[in-house]
Structure 1
């Protein structure tokens, strides 16, 4: 079924939108993980290691290797563990990190020590709750009746979680509660966004108070960053944060003038007669009573608290605009939107801004944001800002097993022209390249965004709407290798490859077919129960001397116990028990490959 979502840019969403589209890369602080020196009185259950793998057969068990770079909460039934506090006390904060859950593990990130972002082994959960991975945990009130004690929890939009033992990536943007000079709270804390494994799972969530498990019930402007350590084994690496500890610039003394006409560039104002003019407390396009063909000019002062470099983003839909500060061009004349950076001293600085609108179908909507070191991107204008995106997304939901042919774009500018997207009701989907006989990507969450294909003329492509794992540059799934270390072929030339389409089983799941080296190959993948991965079965109608299958390629492939191979710590390959295939990890330049001979049948699982 196809859903067409209609989105608007409302007042309540604008602050979130600005926060999720930063104008500049803020200076990040990287947390050193060569020792535990970044933490306050670290409990004994926390340690620094060099490698970590989860035991897929046991709860809360990691296999650890000596070294540095990974922070590990190593707990068991005899050692329940304690929480870990950073030396950092923060207000507004952006936090980015990689983390790994042990099987069945439970942990959390407490912003300011009060508001928990849940970390959980939620692998295979189809309908996540606030207590699942990426959820904002509930508040709690013991005085309420049973079943009502927990409240105001926020489930992730979809489950983008990976299997235990695989690294997951999370980005959090947090806005601390605000207080007046008397210490009274005047604004609640907010989670501006959470991205999990490339998917936006939380956005603009207001927090009325601390969640369950907070170290204190009292909110404050500053608080400690805290990792939960008493519920399960979890590991972290690549931890960095941006602490927004400086006040944002403000504008004042605003005067506006409106001129009627179609202006392609900034005119000589002395030769023009104003249509309207006056003063206003905020930058806005609402002062203009004309629908089109006008120029709005602002003058005023911008107050800079701390000298430094600042980046400005100007939104001027349906026309052109520019920004000057101290009579110096900051945002040059731009169409629809523009960006510029400038180093400014502290104090009040004069500025000029103009917005010339001449496209009749566009809505008048002037927007200006500023960001700098220690200053989160802040909206200096009113919230009447255009997203500059008039396209409503066209989403395809897999309410049943679904097959869709389209172009598929992969990283590196690669376009798969014979891509076939296969969706399942268990929210685990994949794309098959019918020109190569290869799985090119797998993802968890929603199915496909068909906007590029179906909006207006379209370009024929669709894109995954969930958390994606790519399998490398497309190449034949099967090949004859002259020697054991021969390079894997880039295409099917010389193989007599001929695609034969696919057939559907009773549950509308496809089996792909093609001829190669004179043999008919059938290739069928089914979703592992719970959406935990794919089980793949490849059959060859007649033996082909030297026929080899490439199961995976990556920077690092390791063999684990119980038939598991891990690929870049991002997904697992597991051959079925009883198979006579003997995989080999081989190195080709900077890449490793997992390959195996194939005679008549090969079955294995891709787990992520």
Structure 2
């Protein structure tokens, strides 16, 4: 018999139909594009009060609290404060928008805009609130701040203790008021028994916020909700309820509301039997020539039925009862070995893949699963996850994960001004000068910046600078850096921002000589004489970057604005060349606003604080985007508010 090396064994198992993998990679229960809640009119909601309207666009003025300005059209749901005499005639709860949609378990995804100093909320089932708030200048979120799960309330409790069980967001991942923010929620409704006491169903499991993301940052995971939060329109709990958008506390707008209702019964594994075979099994049929080491019945799939640490095979057989017909997806984790899943006598997960999908009819279907364990340095484990029509992905094994290689994260905080050099990956960003069709999937593109410097601050506003181009790459609010990819094991040299990131486009030179304001911006350093000169630290360890460009020494100083509202950049050129321009921003759309602000793609404000060289101009770039440029004589100062 030929002795197989480890690499040969992996290839052999793949060739005979096992799926080989390190573990189960459960999909996060985050919303996927589902059904839209129509916003052409207000018909998706119960009759609303006059504060609600449909608009085509909306914008804010940072100097006007609790105010939004709307444009004609459709697609945006807006609540605007009513005059005091009109509002006083309405009860607060009447001013909310309550959906006709009723939901239990649900994934929800939406954009929202909060006016300066405004306040709103999203209530799942009309009972459990995720707070929406202007928390732009907050460092440590409270239960009233943006993204927090609001507290419950009991008037019978002692003074000062009426509020309880609120859950602040893990970090402040908020954008500035007047900018569009994105919320994703995976919600699990409370469970009730089929039997009732005195005609009232008994709650058997509390509601949960399975996962909440604000602007791409996870701020809650698996939070149990013992009852309705303060301000809910119901005091009781039920399996279903409406979506409620709060409209009685200030100006707020919503768009792109999408949801998935998980209201179908899960498939059920029945009559499970197992047999454990000792040895190395490289082909599916080999086990049949060996007597099982042990066998029996069980109620759950598990690797624990084998007491053999390595070189064994577990074969499960049983029945999968399918109540809801349709397409199902299976995710199989087999750490340290290989495996296969068959349903209705057909392979579902096989041929080297850890996932598979199949259309299942309603009824009782034969179920068969194999787990062959042969890698001795990996602990045995088994994971199987299922999702289907109206069914959120869930595990049918006793393991929440099929991996034994969890890594303790290496987190870099910034209690003081902190400077860290690393590679920095920029998802969705093209290489400078590259032309990408608008239809391309930009999320799959990643640019690696190899001479990046990330600067953290105790104000919890941070940025990354590219030494190769003298470019400001990104700014973010919240926690600083995850350096696990750089320092764990051999590492790959990269780190990742942990907060709400605002990326500023592909890195290009900040300064360029242009023959005319319409001339193309140079894509690389050719002809500029660009040479980086590192950086110098001030008395509190804040860097000022230095480089030579067009024969001049340039100082590039970036500082956090008061109250953490953004960053201010001051670029000074010792002896500026003629026809020198600074490129302040690029985006799909750049719109001038009041008070000298520019709105970039609805995601950031830019304010020119000192542009002594001349008047800024918005121009069309060669890649179909827009650029904001300004002539430079000796210094330019501008701020990014986000």
Quickly name the TM-score band, shorter chain normalised. Answer: over 0.9
Question: What is the SS of the residue equivalent to 1:446?
Answer: coil
What do you get for the CA RMSD once the two structures are aligned? 1.5
Are the structure 2 counterparts of residues 283 and 220 from structure 1 closer, same or farther at C-alpha, using a change threshold of 3 Å?
same
Task: Report the equivalent of 1:549.
Answer: 582
Asked if residue 95 in structure 1 is aligned to residue 108 in structure 2, the reply is yes
CA distance in 2, matches of 1:85, 1:514: 57
Deviation at 1:281, TM superposition (A): 1.1
Task: Report the equivalent of 1:438.
Answer: 471
Deviation at 1:263, TM superposition (A): 2.3
Are the structure 2 counterparts of residues 73 and 403 from structure 1 closer, same or farther at C-alpha, using a change threshold of 3 Å?
same
Question: What is the SS of the residue equivalent to 1:459?
Answer: coil
Q: TM-score, normalised by structure 1?
A: 0.94
Question: What is the SS of the residue equivalent to 1:576?
Answer: strand
Question: What is the SS of the residue equivalent to 2:284?
Answer: coil
Question: What is the SS of the residue equivalent to 2:402?
Answer: coil
Q: How does 1:387-536 map to 2 (within 5 A)?
A: 387=403, 389-411=405-427, 412-536=445-569
Q: TM-score, normalised by structure 2?
A: 0.89
Deviation at 1:77, TM superposition (A): 5.2
Are the structure 2 counterparts of residues 388 and 168 from structure 1 closer, same or farther at C-alpha, using a change threshold of 3 Å?
farther
- Contact 2:277/2:314 (CA < 8 Å) preserved in 1? yes
Task: Report the equivalent of 2:45.
Answer: 39
Are the structure 2 counterparts of residues 403 and 77 from structure 1 closer, same or farther at C-alpha, using a change threshold of 3 Å?
farther
Asked if residue 20 in structure 1 is aligned to residue 28 in structure 2, the reply is yes
Task: Report the equivalent of 2:439.
Answer: none
Are the structure 2 counterparts of residues 442 and 246 from structure 1 closer, same or farther at C-alpha, using a change threshold of 3 Å?
same
Are the structure 2 counterparts of residues 387 and 160 from structure 1 closer, same or farther at C-alpha, using a change threshold of 3 Å?
farther
Per-residue CA shift, 1:275-307, capped at 9, x if unaligned? 111111111111110111111110001111111
Deviation at 1:42, TM superposition (A): 2.0
Deviation at 1:18, TM superposition (A): 4.8
CA distance in 1, matches of 2:74, 2:570: 40
Per-residue CA shift, 1:514-541, capped at 9, x if unaligned? 0000111100011012211001111000
Deviation at 1:559, TM superposition (A): 0.2
Per-residue CA shift, 1:111-161, capped at 9, x if unaligned? 100111100000020010111100000000111112111000000000000
Per-residue CA shift, 1:422-477, capped at 9, x if unaligned? 00011110000011011011111111111111112211111111111111111111
Number of corresponding residues: 588
Question: What is the SS of the residue equivalent to 1:452?
Answer: helix
Question: What is the SS of the residue equivalent to 2:178?
Answer: coil
Deviation at 1:380, TM superposition (A): 1.3
CA distance in 2, matches of 1:461, 1:18: 24
Per-residue CA shift, 1:86-114, capped at 9, x if unaligned? 11011001000011100001000011001
Per-residue CA shift, 1:302-343, capped at 9, x if unaligned? 1111110011111111111110001111111547xx111000
1:139 paired residue among 129, 135, 152: 152
1:215 paired residue among 227, 233, 239: 233
CA distance in 1, matches of 2:224, 2:502: 31
Task: Report the equivalent of 1:560.
Answer: 593
Task: Report the equivalent of 1:595.
Answer: 629
- Contact 2:342/2:369 (CA < 8 Å) preserved in 1? yes
Are the structure 2 counterparts of residues 149 and 21 from structure 1 closer, same or farther at C-alpha, using a change threshold of 3 Å?
closer
Per-residue CA shift, 1:334-370, capped at 9, x if unaligned? 47xx111000000111110001111222222211111
Structure 2 residue ranges without an equivalent (≥5): 1-24, 428-444
Deviation at 1:265, TM superposition (A): 3.9
Question: What is the SS of the residue equivalent to 2:595?
Answer: coil
Deviation at 1:385, TM superposition (A): 3.2
Structure 1 residue ranges without an equivalent (≥5): 1-16
CA distance in 2, matches of 1:427, 1:264: 54
Task: Report the equivalent of 1:59.
Answer: 65
CA distance in 1, matches of 2:417, 2:570: 18
Question: What is the SS of the residue equivalent to 2:350?
Answer: strand
Q: Which deviates the most, 189-198 or 268-277?
A: 268-277
Q: Which deviates the most, 588-597 or 566-575?
A: 588-597
